[in-house]
Amino acid sequence: MNKESKNERDLPTVVAFSSALPFGAMLAVLQALRFTKSEISFDFSIWTAIAFLVGSTSLFAYLRLVFTCGQRTPRAFRYGGLVVLGLMASVAFIYPFRLRQLDQLAQRFAGVGAALCFIAAGLTMVYRIVLAAELDEDRQEAEEKNSTVIKSQPQARFEQKEQYEN
């Protein structure tokens, strides 16, 4: 009997929203970002809103499909989506570098390198937490299965005893 609580059912939706909104915001900021020789500014337009909506809805739809279907989702779709997301994140890091100021390029690459190291460390921690949660869930399921087997064995012995007495 696999009963999920309301919180467990809502978790994929919360994760999908909390990932989709910043992704849409990142695309909107990149669309609005303008470089001049002396300054960096934001120029918001209808295209900024469109970039936000496209980014957030596409990531939300992808994550909901992956969370809802799980292992039934085609492997090519899961990995292809991750590759597309990785490419978009890479472009998001590289886009502001547009080679206009070559004298500060080394400093910018050092900053991006540090940022990528922090992101990699964060993703590693998230991966380890997810792995630990999966192992703990497997352990709990094994314990529940064993306790069900142990509980059913005394009942079977009692029924066998009744049959011998009759």
Structural domain spans, the chain: 1-99, 101-166
Burial (CB < 10 A; 0-12, 13-18, 19+), residue 63, is buried
What is d(CA 29, CA 35) in angstroms, rounded to the nearest whole number?
Answer: 13
Structure tokens at 99: 């080679």
Q: Across residues 74-87, what is the average pLDDT?
A: 79
Q: What is the pLDDT of residue 128?
A: 85
* DSSP-assigned letters across all residues of 28-49: HHHHHEEE-SS-EEE---HHHH
pTM of the predicted model as reported, rounded to 2 decimal places: 0.52
pLDDT tens figures, 94-138: 776 665 566 666 777 777 788 888 888 888 888 888 788 888 888
pLDDT tens figures, 24-61: 888 888 888 877 767 777 888 898 899 899 888 988 88
Contact between 58 and 26 under an 8 Å Cβ cutoff? The reply is no
CA distances to 3, 29, 73, 92 from 105, in Å: 55, 21, 42, 16
What is d(CA 164, CA 143) in angstroms, rounded to the nearest whole number?
Answer: 32
